[in-house]
Amino acid sequence: MCSPKEVDLQRLEEVFLANLARINSRVLQPLLTDGPSDPQSRKCLKQLHRSSQQLQEVTEESLHSLQDRLRHPKAIGLDSLLLLHGANHVLQVHKEFIESYTSCVVVQAFEKATEQRSEFWQGQRKELQQVLWGLSSEGPVGTALVQAVRQPLTHHVQQYVCLLPSLVDIIKEDDDTRKQVVHATTLFENLQSFMKQELDQAMATQALWLTLSSRPRDALCTPARRLLQDSQDVPVTVTPLRAERVLLFDDVLVLLQGHSIHSFDLKLVWVEPEQDRYSVHFLTPQEEFSFGSKNPQDQVIWQRKVTQAVCQALRGKKDFPVLGVGLESSETPTYRTVAYTFLGDSRLSQATYEGEWCRARPHGQGTLKWPDGQSHVGTFSQGLEHGFGICMVPKASEDKFDRYKCHWQEGSMCGYGICEYDTGEVYKGYFQKGLRHGFGVLESAPQAPHPCKYTGHWKEDQRSGYGIQEDSDRGERYIGMWQADQPHGPGVVVTQAGACYQGTFQADKMVVPGILLTEDDSLYEGTFTRDLTFLGKGKVTFPNGFTLEGSFDIGDRRGLHTNGVLDTAALPPDPSTTCKRQLGLGAFPVESRWQGVYGPFRDFVRAGCPGDRQEALLGFHEQSLRELRESQEHPCYERTPLDDSIRRMENILEEVRQHREPEALRQCLRKALSSPLHPLGRLLRTLTLTFQATYAGIGANKHLKGLAQEEVKQHAQELWAAYRGLLQVALQRKGQALEEEEDTETRDLQVYGLVLPLILPSFYADLSTLYLLLYEREDRLYTQGIANMSLFSDAKLLEFLDVQKHLWLKDLTLTSNQRLSLLSGKCFLSATECLQKMITTMDPQEKLGELERTYREIEAAVSRVLGQEHMLRMDDLLPLLIYVVSHARIQHLGAEIHLIRDMIHPTYVGGLYDFLLTALESCYSHIQKMHQLPSS
């Protein structure tokens, strides 16, 4: 059984549906047939017509649901009514109709449309009065139509509010339908309040447009805009800006002064917390101003209204049911995301910023774009670029950009960055105040006319300090000091042809006599040109010892002219002064050579290892040049999210703190140095890059071995100091006592015994090449000696080496063939295999360990022969070791020995390792002398 209230609802829907049909057919359609010439008004009427049709469809659907319910009350429950289960949808359609209607009111669409066909509408007036409820017989027809369209809707919503609550009486207490009724009632009560506010605002806005002159009206009038507050109603003064009138709309705040119109997008207006009773302060991206009032209550009204309007604008939809409802705070949101185009003469003039804001300043993630194509995507702080960002600067040539992918600080590049220039050059390194400053690598495009690469230090955008430049066009590499973008100070030049020279440069020219070492090991001391032509006074020392001293000149360019003395009686030169002469030592103190690499790490540690500054100070993932140049449209990097970076740094410090025991520390450092995400790993990667830039390729010159060897040792010291810095920070964060300063002996023990073996593999390929080149002649003699010794049978070789017979074999009753077989297959075989393992490791300490095991195996073999423990004297050990070395056939043994000698811990000097290494050196020298042995 249905209630009378449901019947009333059905009748209500039938009446409203009929009214809507008449409004559509008798008002809206005729208005659109020959509507207003004003595009704005015509558009509003079209939207109202569409909204009216939608409302008509929803009302019809609601009516059908009521009719079905009334016909089958037992089969169909109350919850089937559209007004209950679809209350939100019905509400939304009503709201859209109200908003469309009020837009027509604001722009006086009805009035403008009827004025164009005034005679037609005057003739229709009496007929419309009979079919349209509320149509007035007096006044303009347009105004009468405004009332006629509004009255049915107002009455309809009022009836909803009256009838819907009565449905609760016919529903059981525990029925869920009861909640639906309460919900629908609340919605339509709110709709009634919303409609009243909308109508009031529309009428006030319409009245405003009539009071304004054409210029501000044309600039400000839009159908959707509503007036919320007018300073003519609630007086207010503006400082420091001037305004005769202040208008608050639902989307902008407007200051009018004469013909000047100053408008502020509410999404970009911040209302400052209350400072005093008589004023309220506002922040916008380019202006700050205050509203003042003699009456504190007026100030409160403006502050509340502006705050409500700003919050509504940020939500992007009208507050429901009324402005300011549900506002949790009396303040505008501090942080927001919105777009804005800067005007005026500021550095951001014409730029559009889209992103996060804080108190009227770009703050957080955002994008800046200029009309000329320049853009900046990244992090901002208080209006300035701050943090990681990608900036693209257009160049004069079409579709060419400079791309800066860097860290920024207070609006300028500062910290690590990668820049791709429109010329094809790529810079990877550090910046300060927008200029290249500190350590950096600049590499030209491979197809550049004069390809070159600079690895070194910069100062105020110029190469300055220690640096290496490779000039592929000239086939040479400069290693040394720079100033004002030119070689200046001590420097070494290595050529592709194998020659190298050292001198003092000034503005890219050598200004004092220098040293030139040619590929055939001739030595020239004096003055010469950049293309290695002797010029002026000098002295040549040839490899055979002859010397030529005097003056040199090109003459008529038909050859080198000299006026001097040729000395053929001189003794052969000391190899250390010619073929083994090391350049650069003392000219570039090793501890100051790569301060631009060590410095940022020290800054990072001094700052307490902040995870959010790790990229800026230590760099980020670097793409290859090919990847960089392929990322033209979407330049990006595999960057670690900030939260992950901070968390990872905390884990790293905790791991450093917990792993301090010797073996645990070794494993911790091994893991750290091998990881590109660990600060120590990043530092090692950069040091490896500088090492390769100096000593690989053209730089693989034997005269640079000394520089390279001391550089590797210095890197080991700096990496240990870096680890100690991390440890101190880790302990400090946990409130634990900091470790005391190490003495030199303890530090050297860790540097040589722990760090050096771990980092040596990163430098080994290039470093060992320098040793191979430096000791090539000796190793060639050694190889020939090995070849000559291999012509001996094992027995004859033992005899030749004066190995005592009692050390050969105990059972001399064996035949010579049996003895030969035993010697070939087993005699010192284990010792030979141990020695061969020396070349399977890059760790000097492990190499010495294999040498010690070789010595132990020789002693063990002798002891087996003698049938008792036997300690070998040096006189007995040396020939046996020579025998083992000759069978091990280790290539480049001289280079291996010297590398070990240069890299071993100082404490090994005088110990067993030093003794065994000295014995191996003696064997090497002895085998070298055997290169002239006659064939056996």
Q: What is the pLDDT of residue 577?
A: 66
- DSSP-assigned letter for residue 496: T
Is residue 824 pLDDT above 60, yes or no?
Answer: no
The answer to which of 88-97, 230-239, 631-640 has the lowest mean pLDDT is: 631-640
Is residue 538 pLDDT above 80, yes or no?
Answer: yes
Share of the chain above pLDDT 70, in %: 92
User: In this structure, what is the dihedral angle of CA atoms 720, 725, 731, 733, given to the nearest 10 degrees?
Assistant: -150
Q: Pick 346 or 200 by higher pLDDT.
A: 200
Task: Measure CA of the first residue to CA of the last residue in the chain; give whole Å.
Answer: 129
The Cβ of residue 232 has, within 10 Å, a number of other Cβ atoms equal to 12
Q: Pick 789 or 126 by higher pLDDT.
A: 789
| Assigned token pair, 821 | 């077989």
Distance (Å, whole) CA 495 – CA 501: 9
Q: What is the pLDDT of residue 368?
A: 96
Is residue 622 pLDDT above 60, yes or no?
Answer: no
Average pLDDT, stretch 26-32?
88
pLDDT tens digit string along 37-69? 788 999 999 999 999 999 999 999 999 999 998
The contacts of residue 594 (CB under 8 Å, 6+ apart) are 439, 466, 687, 690, 711, 714
The number of C-alpha atoms within 13 Å of 230 and in the hemisphere containing its C-beta is 12
Average pLDDT, stretch 307-330?
85
Is residue 838 pLDDT above 50, yes or no?
Answer: yes
Is residue 906 pLDDT above 90, yes or no?
Answer: no
3-state secondary structure of 622: coil
Average pLDDT, stretch 467-477?
92
Number of H helices and E strands in the chain, helices first, is 28, 28
Share of the chain above pLDDT 90, in %: 59
Helices (H), 775-889: 776-789, 794-800, 816-826, 829-836, 844-866, 874-888
pLDDT tens digit string along 663-672? 999 999 999 9
Residue whose structure tokens are 């301090």: 660
Is residue 636 pLDDT above 90, yes or no?
Answer: no
Average pLDDT, stretch 613-623?
73
pLDDT band at residue 825 using 50, 70 and 90 as cut-offs = very low
DSSP 273-296: PP-BTTEEEEE-SS-EEEEE-SSH
Distance (Å, whole) CA 353 – CA 363: 11
pLDDT tens digit string along 228-254? 999 999 999 999 999 999 999 999 999
Mean pLDDT of the chain: 88
Model's pTM, two decimal places?
Answer: 0.82
- Cβ 678 vs Cβ 652: under 8 Å: yes
Q: What is the pLDDT of residue 118?
A: 79
Residue 260 — φ and ψ, nearest 5°?
-85, 135
Cβ contacts of 764-767, under 8 Å, gap ≥ 24 = 764/842, 766/691, 766/692, 766/695, 766/696, 766/700, 766/708, 767/691, 767/695, 767/708, 767/709, 767/712, 767/899
Is residue 806 pLDDT above 70, yes or no?
Answer: no
Distance (Å, whole) CA 853 – CA 866: 20
The answer to which of 214-218, 379-383, 617-621 has the lowest mean pLDDT is: 617-621
Average pLDDT, stretch 295-322?
91
Is residue 432 pLDDT above 80, yes or no?
Answer: yes
Distance (Å, whole) CA 866 – CA 837: 27
Q: What is the pLDDT of residue 227?
A: 96
Distance (Å, whole) CA 421 – CA 400: 9
Q: How open is the CA angle 486-489-494, to the nearest 5 degrees?
A: 75
Distance (Å, whole) CA 23 – CA 52: 8
Given the DSSP bridges, would you call strands 375-381 and 361-369 parallel, antiparallel or unpaired? antiparallel
Q: What is the pLDDT of residue 936?
A: 45
* Burial status of residue 662 (CB atoms within 10 A of its CB: 0-12, 13-18, 19 or more): exposed
Distance (Å, whole) CA 907 – CA 930: 34
Q: What is the pLDDT of residue 892?
A: 94
Q: Pick 323 or 760 by higher pLDDT.
A: 760
Distances (CA, A) of 760 to 408, 594, 604, 670: 35, 18, 25, 12
Residue 912: closest CA among 859, 842, 833:
859
The answer to which of 128-142, 231-245, 501-515, 646-660 has the lowest mean pLDDT is: 128-142
AA identity, residue 439: F
Average pLDDT, stretch 709-731?
95
The number of C-alpha atoms within 13 Å of 553 and in the hemisphere containing its C-beta is 7
Q: Bridge-partner residues for 376, per DSSP?
A: 368, 391
pLDDT band at residue 827 using 50, 70 and 90 as cut-offs = low
Is residue 173 pLDDT above 60, yes or no?
Answer: yes
pLDDT tens digit string along 672-704? 999 988 999 999 999 999 999 999 999 899 999
Distance (Å, whole) CA 874 – CA 663: 35
The answer to which of 42-46, 523-527, 577-581 has the lowest mean pLDDT is: 577-581
pLDDT tens digit string along 584-605? 998 999 999 999 999 999 999 9
